[in-house]
Amino acid sequence: MKKKEYQERPWLKYYDEEGLPANLEYPDCSMVDLVLQSAEKWPDNMAYSYYGHKVTFKNFVKKIEKAARALKNYGVKEGDRVTICMPNTPEGITMVYAVNMIGAVCNMVHPLSSEKELEYYIKVADSKYVLVIDAVFDKIYRLRDTAQLERIIVVRPSDGLGFLKKKLYTTLHVKKVRLPVNDSRVVLWEDFIANSYFYQGNYHEERGANDPAIIMYSGGTTGAPKAVLLSNLNINAESMCDYTVIRQCTPGATVLSILPLFHCFGLGVCIHTPLIRGMGCILIPAFSHKQFGEIIKKNEPSFIVGVPTLFEALTNTKLKKDDLKSVQAAICGGDALNQTLRDKVNKCLQDHGSSAKIRVGYGLTEGSGAVCLSPENSFKDGIIGAPMPDMYFKIVKKDTFTEVPAGEVGEICISGPLVMMGYLNDEAETAQTLRVHEDGKLWLHTGDMGYLAEDGFIYFAQRLKRIIISSGYNIYPTHLESIINSHEAVLTSTVIGIDHHYKGQVPKAFVVLKPGYKAGKKVEREIRALLERNVPLYALPVAYEFRDKLPQTLVGKVAFKKLEEEEKKK
């Protein structure tokens, strides 16, 4: 049996060497049920801290239950979709588990999304309830009628602080957002919670592993926004795998939760994993590389989890000799980590008191977050490591089910408990991405290229789909191009990623205008304004170049790789 397992999963040799279980038993329960179990085991452990305000597991559960009762009081039913448009704040994570507790589904969206994107996300999920940070309330409120919203719950950034800190924060930092009067659809968080006392019925619905729990957004295989439906099993299995393969995940440890909860890596690794393991989340709602050093010194995290740009910022932070002595593990995901940065990070950790060495994760929203993690104390360029417990990887020839030999590059396919339920309301794209192979297993075709090496580990090669990764965020060129091309003056356009010293890559647009239109600042401003209405700020091109024509391939497609080569030579 072991020989067959090694043939199917050659990386299990590493599991045996490290004494790690290759298979786990996953409970038939909801996400919140595992958090409740954690609270029973470690009631007095810190569940989270927010600007120094700490909350124990025992009190966190009380907050979840109040929010669950409040949701029921406002008419939210089992199976309803509740949109959570929040950074990492106590209200955001409390609402995730309260929604899960009543058997509803969380629709996780980026607060910096454009109004058009928010409208799409809310409508595709058929969500009538929204939790939103006050800074972007206006965008949501303008959608109240077109999206037929029944309730908008507004959070101020200071809501999760203690009384004195809240007063100081409000005085110094918060510009008050005006809320409409006499609109019963809008309610402040504190009033929402206060109304929980009016509901005395059942608020904890029994849900199983295979019930839907989370909706997140991905570009899918085409680059157009797709709603990824994830089950309780998907998220629970992700977190159980995380704490199994990362030995430092022990009760009482703390995670610097900078990656946002609307990102699969953020929710799975930085929020749910610690909360089901008796660990604490240090909630950071917005990352600032200038304050990074102070954040680490004040909070002394056991774990730093982030994207390459965050670790680049760490190496450029002024630190004293023992400022990183608390750091037991450093996990990098969201984009490839090159050897140069890896060595810089490890030296930075060592020079400032930590024995940790950075590990690289690979994942995708359709795979519930991280599906592969590099081994401890081992690094080679391109390595993404050993798949998580119970996960199968297969490298196939593009557009086929045919497996390629070890060492040969092909499309990465994955199978196992981390594979999504499917794309919401999109059977065609789901069928294109999730396919049953001859072995009878359901395989997710990732759209990424890689290979299985002789050492039994998986290595990343490139992406099949066009994608720009900027500070860990995915930007899809085809989506930007479709918006640019909708401008009346534009004949065609191409967007590529250009190198950036801090963000990794940023978008640049090449535009060809129709005859009769003149290139210049006026049309550039119009195109930028059009994009600003439709995409988040981080996805906006940093530069526009107008050309008479774009280079083409032999089959008449735009040769975007040639443009990329031209930019590298500049």
- Dist CA 310 CA 166 (whole Å): 28
- Rounded average pLDDT over 137-144: 95
Residue 564 Cα distances to 357, 462, 569, 570, angstroms: 33, 15, 9, 10
Asked if pLDDT for residue 178 goes beyond 80, the answer is no
d(CA 277, CA 242): 10
Q: Write out the two tokens for 423.
A: 């794309």
For the residues 77-101, what does the mean pLDDT come to? 97
Helix, strand, or coil (residue 138): helix
pLDDT(264) > 60: yes
414-464 pLDDT, tens digit per residue, is: 999 999 999 999 999 999 999 999 999 999 999 888 899 888 899 887 665
pLDDT band with cut points at 50, 70 and 90 for residue 11? very high
Q: What is the pLDDT of residue 225?
A: 76
Least confident residue range of 52-66, 137-151, 268-282, 339-353: 339-353
> Where does residue 148 fall: left (phi above 0), alpha (psi -120 to 50 degrees), or beta otherwise?
left
pLDDT for the residue numbered 25: 97
H or E segment at 513?
strand 504-513
Residue 157 has what pLDDT? 80
User: Residue 112: what pLDDT?
Assistant: 87
Per-residue pLDDT band for 172 (boundaries 50, 70, 90) equals very low
**Percent of the chain predicted with pLDDT > 70:** 93
What pLDDT shows up at residue 90? 96
Q: How confident is the prediction for the chain on average, in pLDDT?
A: 89
Q: Which residue has the higher pLDDT, 505 or 105?
A: 105
Residue-level pLDDT at 169: 46
Q: Is the pLDDT of residue 75 over 90?
A: yes
Q: Extract the tokens encoding 484.
A: 């640019």
Domain 31-36+52-207 has CATH 3.40.50.150: no
CA distances from 550 to 7, 91, 506, 555 (A): 48, 48, 20, 14
- pLDDT confidence of residue 107: 98
The pLDDT assigned to 170 comes to 47
pLDDT at 252 > cutoff 80 = yes
CATH superfamily of 468-569: ANL, C-terminal domain (3.30.300.30)
Most confident of 10-14, 213-217, 533-537, 556-560: 213-217
Q: What are the residue boundaries of the structural domains of the chain, listed by start? A: 31-36+52-207, 468-569
- Type of residue numbered 320: K
pLDDT tens track for 272-331: 999 999 999 999 998 877 788 889 999 999 999 988 878 888 988 889 999 999 999 999
Band of the pLDDT at 168, cuts 50, 70, 90? very low
Mean pLDDT of 198-221: 91
Band of the pLDDT at 536, cuts 50, 70, 90?
Answer: confident
At residue 540, the pLDDT reads 92
State the residue for tokens 């909350």: 55
What is the pLDDT at residue 162?
A: 61
| pLDDT-based confidence at residue 555 (cuts at 50, 70, 90) | very low
Q: Are 271 and 258 in contact (CB under 8 A)?
A: no
Alpha-carbon distance of 395 to 50, in angstroms, equals 43
* Structure confidence at residue 341 as a pLDDT band (50, 70, 90): confident
Please identify which residue in the block is written with the tokens 């899918």. 220
Is the pLDDT reported for residue 543 higher than 60?
Answer: yes
- In this prediction, residue 457 carries a pLDDT of 92
How far apart are the C-alpha atoms of 527 and 316, rounded to whole Å?
35
Residue 186: which pLDDT band, with cuts at 50, 70 and 90? very high
Question: Would you say the CATH fold of 468-569 matches that of 31-36+52-207?
Answer: no
Segment 372-388, tens digit of pLDDT = 999 887 777 788 889 99
